[in-house]
Structure 1
Amino acid sequence: MSTEGRSVEPASAASTLESAGFVRLIARASGDALAASGLVASALEATETPFQVTVARTVAARSDRVHTPTHEDDVTVVVGTADAASDANDVVELATADRPATLVAVDLVRELDVTPDPVVALAGVVASGGDPGAGESEWLLETAREQGLLEQRPGVAIPTADPIDGLAHSTRLHAPWSGDRDATREALADAVDSDSTDFSADDHRAIGSLVAIDVVGADDEADAAAETIGRALRPYATPDGPFATLGGFADVLAATASAEPGTGVALAMGHDVREPALAAWREYGRRAHDALETASTGRYDGLFVVGIDDGPVDAVARLGAAYRSPEPAVLAISEGQSPSSNRTQSDDGTGEAAIATREADHLGATVEAVARELADRAPEADIEYDGSRRRGYLRFNPDVDDATIIAAVRELL
């Protein structure tokens, strides 16, 4: 039984970590979890506590690591759900059902008398689907602005100074030219000089207007696209950060969590891995947009199904829910016949599906129920899963037919 949902007590968790001889950090594959892991790892580094960070895609994979025998003074920190993790005294859980893992990590880091990096923390909040400065993150935004780490400007939230590169590969938006650099360059031709890297506020404003018009005006865009693209406009620039904007940073965290988790962990810890992280993000974004453009679709009451041959199902589901789906939830299914960017070599040939929703904040329990239902319907499915507030992931034997997966999701969503 998975255990996500209880709030961690920061003081108790800090006391546990302070007495640890070695800390194992085990994180789910999400931008939020990467940011949380990076904050805690940086704090452990500052307090000279040895540690190791691994990213595990499913609840089962994290549970296996949690229950692997360790030395007597080792402590395991789980950023995400793990089966029966609370049964062990040497396990600290950082993810809860109602808060970004990043904010839980911020509380823990402060209890360790370490100041969390506000830009990394805010990027994690954005990656979780939150707005920077909203609710509990307000003080983080104020701190970052007071320190000159963030400044709001017109334009679009992308990670690169080059708008063509940034817009073509972003998974925070979807337009007719997304995924194609040449098409993006042509779309921006009347707004910016493609050879320039220095843009004024008016230039950024023109880019933002053009992007909003193209996104909302596309023939196949859903009504929700206007609200979604609005959240990517007027970004917070990060003058001293590894990427051009806070939203762009969040986009790279989300991409590396699936495509290059080791690079993502290093990025969240503040190491200089900008170029490999951007390379992973570009490929991830290109393949996600290509998959969405060539996908088959089906509409059911409350659910929009997107079938792809290959691609990162998590990004396809998220983009579909934000920009394409007439229904509040999207199920993206990949047959898994070739390696996808969010699958390791040993997983080639495994079927994958992802669920994303615009409305619900409780998908973790729902995805677990879907996995159990699938296991009952198809015992040979070899189901593994993961779920957070608005995202879900399923891995299964590719012999399981799409109809079985769709039926299980429709019944429980």
Structure 2
Amino acid sequence: MSTTARSEDAPAAGEVAGRLREAGFVRLVGAATGDALAASGVLARALADCDRPFQVSVADLPADTERATDADLTVAVGRADPVADCSIAAGAEPASETAFAVARELDADPDVALALAGTVADGRAVGGSVAEAAEASGLERRPGVAVPTTDLVDGLAHSTLVHAPFSGDRLAVAAALDGAGIDADGPADGSDPVVDATSLDESARRRVASLVALRTVGDDACPPRGGHAVERALRPFDGGPFATVGGYADVLDAVARERPGTGVALALGHDVGEAALDAWRSHARRAHAAVADATTGRYDGLFVARAETADAPVGTLARLVHDYRSPEPVTLAVTEGAAALVADDRDLEPVLSTAAEGVDGTAAATGTTGRARFDVETGAVITAVREAL
């Protein structure tokens, strides 16, 4: 049976805050995205400041969430959910932006770096009240690239903010940096080369940023939208629990999809940084391998990337292919049993709803992104999406 979350008008921050004040126990149900995870963390920390009991969970689809908990108020975060009492979906603004406003309405002091990381993970230009709060709190942008680690080789090899020829390959990153005049140190034990980003001066950081931009969008196969997408990885904000806020965003998005329990702990401020980085690296390696190995097809208005392995992270695959490979306005990434859809500026809810009904699957969409699960051949899913478009 097809079940697709329907979009709804997002409630105002003051309205959500009022309902949170009245609830004895709050259940936050986040989508498996960096923005939704960050927004859930902002709301949960605000509830903790108010001594309000809460539970946080993250799931790919609304149908995956556990409904047994007896909560006075269930809030869906990052997408609409017809079962929730209210939803903070990523619509006109990122969910993190709305959550930040809700936390302020509750007289809490929201974590600016976490909210800012959520807006970066959302993929749109950073602005609004979160950007203003970041500036007021002293979070500043600097030349260079947004990675979560001080080792630049590690950071660039596993970044999912970009897809470049060196992505997923530490040795290729080291060679590219060497070509830009930045030497990677080869440890005496023969382990992977490293570059200490904290040791680079402003000129070197600018060279790294130029290298990443050119290697990412300089290929003729990269669509024009890639020039906008790569900006998320450039001129990062300093701050947060990782080397940069943009790196924080990258880790949040990866752990939300890869290891949601660790993601929730990270968003709540617990000391799980190393576990989160391990999940981020694993997710990135599989995502970049999936982009490199995918079988692609181009149709009228749709670009399809069919993953070669069943464990390919289709959400990240769809985003990377759409940003840096797809010549069409809608991109579908599909593997055995799962699919993800990304569009330039089209509401995908009716598309995924129709496609899911056609294959008796389950789907959810928020604006220009969506996920689906099914139990048919991938060819049938591709056909259903083409017909729905």
> Which residue does the alignment assign to 1:31?
34
Distance in 2, matches of 1:140 and 1:100, equals 10
Q: The residue matched to 1:76 in structure 2 has which SS? A: strand
Inter-partner Cα distance in structure 2 for 1:174 and 1:248: 15
Residue ranges of structure 1 left out of the alignment (5+ in a row): 336-350, 376-382
How much has 1:365 moved relative to structure 2?
Answer: 3.5
Map of 1:313 onto structure 2: 314
Shift in alpha-carbon separation, 1:142–1:316, aligned structure 2, 3 A: same
1:46: which partner in 2? 49
2:358 matches 1:355: no
Structure 1 residue 229: Cα displacement: 1.9
**Correspondence list, 1:169-248, <5 A:** 169-191=158-180, 192-195=182-185, 196-197=195-196, 198-218=199-219, 220-238=221-239, 241-248=240-247
1:297 aligns with 2:305: no
Query: What's the counterpart of residue 409 of structure 1?
Result: 385
Whole-Å separation in 1 of the counterparts to 2:114 and 2:21: 23
Q: 1:210 to 1:113 in 2, by over 3 A?
A: same
Are residues 98 and 288 of structure 1, via their aligned partners in 2, closer, same or farther at CA, if it must alter by over 3 Å? same
Corresponding residue for residue 256 of structure 2: 257
User: 1:146: Cα distance to partner?
Assistant: 2.7
Shift of 1:276: 0.9
* Residues 116 and 134, structure 2, Cα contact 8 Å, conserved in 1: no
So what's the TM-score if we normalise by structure 2? 0.90
User: Which residue in 2 is equivalent to 1:394?
Assistant: 372
Deviation at 1:83, TM superposition (A): 5.0
| Counterpart code for 2:246 | G
Aligned residue among 343, 362, 365 for 1:384: 362
Offset of residue 361 of structure 1: 4.6
Q: Distance in 1 between matches of 2:109 and 2:282?
A: 34
1: CA distance between counterparts of 2:232 and 2:36?
21
Give per-residue Cα distances to partners, 1:99-139, cap 9 Å, x unaligned.
Answer: 32112212221221112212111111111121112xxx2x3
TM superposition shift of 1:82: 5.4
- Kindly indicate whether the alpha-carbon contact (under 8 Å) linking 2:5 and 2:364 is maintained by their aligned counterparts in 1: no
Report the counterpart of residue 347 of structure 1 in structure 2.
none
Task: Determine if the alignment matches structure 1 residue 128 to structure 2 residue 128.
Answer: no
Secondary structure, counterpart of 1:157 in structure 2: coil
What CA deviation, in whole Å up to 9, does each residue of 1:237-289 have, x standing for no partner? 22xx2122222111111101100111111222222221111111111111100
Of 133, 141, 147, which residue of structure 2 is paired with 1:152?
A: 141
Indicate the residue corresponding to 2:349 in structure 1. 364
Paired with 2:329 and 2:37, the residues of 1 have a C-alpha distance of 27
Q: Which residue of 2 aligns with 1:61?
A: 64
| Residue matched to 1:85 | 83
Shift of 1:93: 2.0
Match of 2:155 in 1: 166
Gap change, CA 1:96 and 1:231, over 3 Å in 2: closer
> Which residue is 1:341 aligned to?
none
- Specify the SS of the correspondent of 1:6: coil
CA contact (8 A) 2:123 2:229 kept: no
CA deviation after TM superposition for structure 1 residue 366, in Å: 2.7
Contact residue 355 and residue 391 of structure 1 kept, 8 A = yes
Summarize deviations over 1:267-326 as a string: whole Å, max 9, x none.
Answer: 222222211111111111111001111111111111111111221011111000000111
Going from structure 1 to structure 2, the CA distance change for 1:15 and 1:54 (only over 3 Å counts) comes to same
* In 1, Cα distance between equivalents of 2:346 and 2:96: 16
d(CA) in 1 for partners of 2:228, 2:19:
43
1:410 and 1:360 mapped to 2: Cα distance? 17
Contact 1:356 1:392 in 2 (8 A): yes
Shift, 1:221, TM fit:
3.0
The CA deviation at 1:98 is 2.9
State the Cα distance separating 1:80 from its structure 2 match.
Answer: 4.1
Q: Would you say how many aligned residue pairs link Structure 1 and Structure 2?
A: 372
- In the alignment, the residues of structure 2 paired with residue 285 and residue 264 of structure 1 have an alpha-carbon distance, to the nearest angstrom, of 15
Q: Contact conserved, 1:169 with 1:179, CA < 8 A, in 2? A: yes
Task: After TM superposition, give the deviation of residue 28 of structure 1 in Å.
Answer: 1.1
Q: Distance in 2 between matches of 1:117 and 1:389?
A: 26
Residue in 1 that maps onto 2:190 = none
C-alpha distance in 1 between matches for 2:346 and 2:248: 23
Contact 2:232 2:246 in 1 (8 A): no
Percent same amino acid at aligned positions?
47
* Aligned-residue offset at 1:354: 0.8
Aligned to 2:95: 101
* Distance verdict in 2 for CA 1:32–1:220, change over 3 Å: same
